[in-house]
Structure 1
């Protein structure tokens, strides 16, 4: 190499190095982004534009890695900031402890005339006879009661002056009983008659916790009678707590653990009603398990028209008498939250209204398995009231029909022919829920008759303090009954109507739901009735 060539290379060395450096230089993001944007501004057939397309493809992935999380976080922040907290209001009443005055004695005590009955031939409107059960359940059913260990006298007790309206049994405490007795027309004489009947039932309870003769049905009715007075297992009810505990345990023990059936027909529905109320007042998990299974039998046994009959199977027709006990059981289950599937329970209740409508007679009245205006009119009226249809035409017209009914203990005394007390168990409650003069005029004549008709045995049982007390029971003239337990329970429950439940005429007991009709239409594909489940 000549000296001249070497000098030429030396002179060009910086330029060559710059070219090499340019080949390996990596522009930063912003430089590349600026070049890309200038390339997009150039003509499409130029090299700069094509280079910009390639650069955009290379920059797309890192841009998404930054922008997508940023956008997602922004959206979440905006959504969270825009949400409002849902507030749930619960109506409560603060009860101030007060001294309750003694109830006034009536100015003229009622005399107890001798019992006189004139045998008469009566046409039976419906057969509510329940076959006697002779099976010894205690020897065939294992003692195991539940996978959830809890003593039957385990009761959820909340010591608080706050009373939540609508909870099962909230009106049945001693203080509320006295207040509601005075408000709705009860008195000391009605309460004394009730106490005598509870003591009679306690004395007649069998060792296994049941009552004769139809043991499941009568145990259910007796349990409902004690619960109506606010009696629950444990120290809260020193005189009757043990009686209630044994009754609950009996019903749980005889229930078929796999199918949930206690028996069929009336007995299952009555016992289910009692178990649901018992759970609502005790919150005992053993009771809820039994109530849930028993309610499931009723829901699955409902026919397409919305009713039930003896077998509690979907193929049965709609029997208003059986439907009455099923409807009361469903209402109690809903109040107590005793069934696991609330949606299915509410749909069943809505369909039950359809079932009663199917047996309604235009102009007023409910029949046995079809339209009529007999004694079962009271069953349809009460149950539609409890199921939220108190303002329906069916209920209003039937209330007018029942205005001609006279308070009485038997048909011979002027009561509705047939199974007078069975009909009046429903009629008394229906008139109570109607309120106003309809209830006042009925009650003024009803309670003296029931107090007078009670049979009394003096000093027959000790109370919780060891003092001997009277017992009392009733024996009516119904053709289809399980005497005397059923007779006594039906009468006692009527004398506890004052505080057993809030009247459905009160705003605290009934809440209108404007969306109920639409939900009912979609559920059963009909659009001719509005059912209010707000009070359930």
Structure 2
């Protein structure tokens, strides 16, 4: 591939169920049993309180076995007793899936949005120049998220998204500042202005009614322009990263709602699951599937909407179907894998895990096996595109981030050497795709490497954002502009600057999402 950038029953605890201290000595259910059973004399010989306790314990055990979802643990899945990686031909063996229902997001509650007026007059800048020193904002930006509790399902691993609820605190804690936050706000405004009337986006952003060709650098590839679902998902991701959902965010809530509804209405349902790349899209199919799956999984995790969870589960099901027998994913289903496509699809599985969806252990173990085939130098410090040949900085960042989520500890020698390589390579102004993954790797590790990277990445990215005309708030992803246009560049730029709260560092004691790899 010449250009790997693009293609880029809900269980809640019911308080009405009585606990032991609330159980009365008179139990109507027990009395009914006593009156009808042929061994009533035997039952009468047992004190009623003990029978009542036994019955309620039995009910609790049955409910626990039926309704409490299994805790997903990627590392345990990898190390568990699956000795053979046989291809599963029947997806029903992997999933117990309810029928996907239609999603109705027409009625949502408004919540105050965080977006402020955008002030930016900074010129373009080259990453090779020393970035200016900007003070970390001391003011609290506020809590933009207001989304529902992420622990409505017992044991759910949604803590990785908790940073979106405390955005202002995490901006200061992890290296953001007022300038980076204003850049995010500007990016969201640009994306919202290029949404189409049907709720979608197009990689040819110039067709948006509010734009009409005012913004340069649209995608010029018909095969990419046809992927409207993927463009929509790519545009929605930064809104979710800022804590705005179909249910939260006064200003942009309708934007996200309409985008999610477009994905729902244009998803293709089949026995293999839910597919998001369109019938006329014949390239980068699994890239598009991965991007859309991440979006619907994050939306499901943040809203705890049952119908969104069903949509996301169907997307995960299709990913499992499309996996190659050796564990990877590429352009089309069942093709031998490459690391670039793998990154999007594996991050969709990770997002599904955060939403507490079913992620079959065999799928994860096969994915781990594929990743081992592209390990390059120094036992995992570098990764290749489709073989163990060292590879580029971009696929190395993808490989390292995937290994982190599969359970590598922070002091893993290969991880440390790989992080040194990324740090030495530094940010690249013409490759936001690489910067997107590398920023996450170094953010999770923290320390001096992160501080150095963050200063260069953050400040230069703020300065390179367009500040004039209809392009204000957008970015172009360097040499990849003709592929995904400003939609991709702006999405990447915003998500890079959301790194302080979009995903919390996985190696801190306070991060509940550290349970994802389960060291």
TM-score bracket for the superposition, by shorter chain length: 0.5 to 0.7
Contact preservation (8 Å) 2:105, 2:257: no
Question: What does 1:220-235 align with in structure 2 at a 5 Å threshold?
Answer: 220-234=233-247
RMSD: 3.7
Q: Counterparts of 1:162 and 1:272 in 2: how far apart (Å)?
A: 22
Task: Return the alpha-carbon distance in structure 1 between the equivalents of residues 253 and 241 of structure 2.
Answer: 13
Residue number in structure 2 paired with 1:365 = 382
Provide the residue aligned with 2:264 in structure 1.
252
Q: Deviations over 1:216-256 (max 9, x none)?
A: 2221111111100011124x311111110111011111111
Distance in 2, matches of 1:374 and 1:200, equals: 31
Deviation at 1:374, TM superposition (A): 1.1
Paired residue for 1:21? none
Q: What is the deviation of 1:484?
A: 0.9
- The change in CA–CA distance for 1:162 and 1:206 in structure 2 (over 3 A counts) is closer
C-alpha offsets along residues 332-362 of structure 1, whole Å, 9 cap, x if unaligned?
111112x3x35x1x44234322222211113
Contact persistence 1:154–1:282 (CA under 8 A): no
Q: Distance in 1 between the 2:405 and 2:239 partners?
A: 21
Distance 1:203 1:247 in 2: 13
Question: Which has the larger displacement, 326-335 or 382-391?
Answer: 382-391
2:376 touches 2:382 (CA, 8 Å); kept in 1? yes
Deviation digits for residues 59-114 of structure 1 (CA, Å, limit 9, x no counterpart): xxxxxx99x999999xx99x97xx9x9999xxxxxxxxxxxxxxxxxxxxxxxxxx
1:262 paired residue among 267, 272, 276: 276
The equivalent residue for 1:423 is: 434
Number of residue equivalences: 366
Instruction: From 292, 299, 305, give the equivalent of 1:284.
Output: 305
For the pair 1:389 / 2:408, whether they are aligned, the reply is yes
Q: 1:293 to 1:200 in 2, by over 3 A?
A: same
1:293 aligned onto 2:314: yes
Q: Quick one: distance in 1 between partners of 2:308 and 2:256?
A: 12
Q: 1:486 aligns with which of 488, 494, 503?
A: 488
Please state how far the C-alpha of 1:283 moved relative to its aligned partner: 1.9
Residue number in structure 2 paired with 1:115: none
Q: Which residue of 2 aligns with 1:170?
A: 162
Q: Give how far 1:183 is off.
A: 0.3
* Aligned 8 A contact 1:209 1:250 in 2: yes
CA contact (8 A) 2:230 2:289 kept: yes
Contact 1:148 1:285 in 2 (8 A): no
Change (3 A) 1:149 1:484: closer
Match of 2:505 in 1: 503
Q: Which entry has the higher C-alpha Rg, 1 or 2?
A: 1
Alignment counterpart, residue 418 of structure 2, candidates 384, 387, 398: 398
C-alpha change, 1:359 and 1:150, in structure 2 (3 Å) is same
Quick one: distance in 2 between partners of 1:200 and 1:271?
A: 20
8 A contact 2:506–2:514 mirrored in 1? no
Q: Which has the higher contact order (CA 8 A, sep 6+)?
A: 2
In 1: Cα distance, 2:196 partner to 2:298 partner: 22
Matches of 1:232 and 1:163, distance apart in 2:
13
Tell me the CA shift for residue 160 of structure 1. Answer: 11
Q: 1:170 Cα shift? A: 2.4
Residue correspondence of structure 1 range 331-346 to structure 2 within 5 A: 331-337=350-356, 339=357, 341-342=358-359, 344=360, 346=361
Superposition deviation, residue 168 in structure 1: 5.9
Q: Indicate conservation of the 8 Å contact 2:150/2:301, yes or no.
A: no
* 2:467 partner SS: strand
Distance 2:147 2:502 in 1: 21
Is 1:330 aligned with 2:349?
Answer: yes
Q: Deviations over 1:147-168 (max 9, x none)?
A: 4563355479998998868446
Shift of residue 261 of structure 1? 0.8
Change (3 A) 1:505 1:156: farther
**Which whole-Å deviations, capped at 9, do the CAs of 1:35-66 have from their partners, x for residues lacking one?**
xxxxxxxxxxxxxxxxxxxxxxxxxxxxxx99
Pick aligned residue for 2:392 from 374, 386, 395: 374
Mapping for residues 16-95 of structure 1, pairs under 5 Å: none
Residue 489 of structure 1: how far off its partner (Å): 0.6
Supply the distance in 2 between the matched residues of 1:451 and 1:433 (Cα, whole angstroms). 21
Consecutive unaligned residues of structure 1, counting only runs of 5 or more, are: 1-64, 89-144, 411-419, 461-469, 514-531
- Paired with 2:146 and 2:183, the residues of 1 have a C-alpha distance of 30
| Residue in 1 that maps onto 2:133 | none
Q: What aligned pairs does 1:153-168 form with structure 2 within 5 A after superposition?
A: 153-154=107-108, 166-167=158-159
1:422–1:478: 8 Å Cα contact kept in structure 2? no
2:246 counterpart SS class: coil
Structure 2 unaligned regions, length at least 5: 1-38, 69-98, 112-144, 152-156, 204-226, 278-284
Counterpart of 2:517 in structure 1 is 533
1:200 to 190, 193, 212: 190
**Distance between the aligned counterparts of 1:279 and 1:454, measured in 2?**
31
Closer, same or farther: CA 422–428 of 1 in aligned 2, 3 Å: same
Partner Cα separation in structure 2 for residue 200 and residue 159 of structure 1: 23
Which has the higher mean CA deviation after the structures are superposed, 299-308 or 273-282?
A: 299-308
- Partner SS state of residue 257, structure 1: strand
